[in-house]
Amino acid sequence: MVFTAVNLKKHSGKTLPQIVFSDLDYFIWAYEDNVFKNPPLKQEAQYIFKRIKNIKIPKQNSEEYEVEYLIHAPTGKFGYFELVLKTTPLHRGGSPAFRTENIDLTVARSIAAYDKSGYRTMIECLKKYYFGDSSHKMVKKRCEDFFNKDSNFVL
């Protein structure tokens, strides 16, 4: 897909994939609030939203793994996620945890409606597993290429 630069104050000139990697909570809020209502942004937002909920586990034998999300117990907000073998027992300790089959970047919002640091951590975890470094620089091409690569997603 060819992505369109948005004309929104906060993110003017960026494409939606760039916004996902730089301000995930804004993208999810804007999508749910129907900010991207005009074509082609509406179609692009739908395309991306479906993908951020269905990111494939980037491991050989990915079917043997699950995504384990941990909730930061003191705040009740998103803590982090890690990829674990399905045979590994669920995390026990002070932090509640749950698992999914795929990486779902909307999980932080389902835990707490507003969690800026949780979204940042979510993207850091994604970059760690997909690019080998949580501080991997996400330039425009890299952001767009990630979303255009079907093998990154369970479609």
Pairing of strands 77-85, 97-100: unpaired
pLDDT of residue 94: 85
pLDDT digits (tens, 9 = 90+) for 38-54: 999 999 999 999 999 99
Rounded CA-CA distance 100/110 in Å is 13
pLDDT of residue 93: 85
pLDDT digits (tens, 9 = 90+) for 46-94: 999 999 999 999 999 999 999 999 999 999 999 999 999 999 999 988 8
Domain extent listing, the chain: 62-136
- The type of residue at 64 is E
Pairing of strands 65-72, 97-100: antiparallel
Q: Helix and strand tally (H, E) in the chain?
A: 6, 3
In order of 22, 59, 128, 133, 152, the CA distances from 62 in angstroms are 27, 5, 16, 19, 11
User: What percent of the chain is predicted at pLDDT more than 70?
Assistant: 100
pLDDT of residue 28: 96
- For the chain, give the mean pLDDT: 96
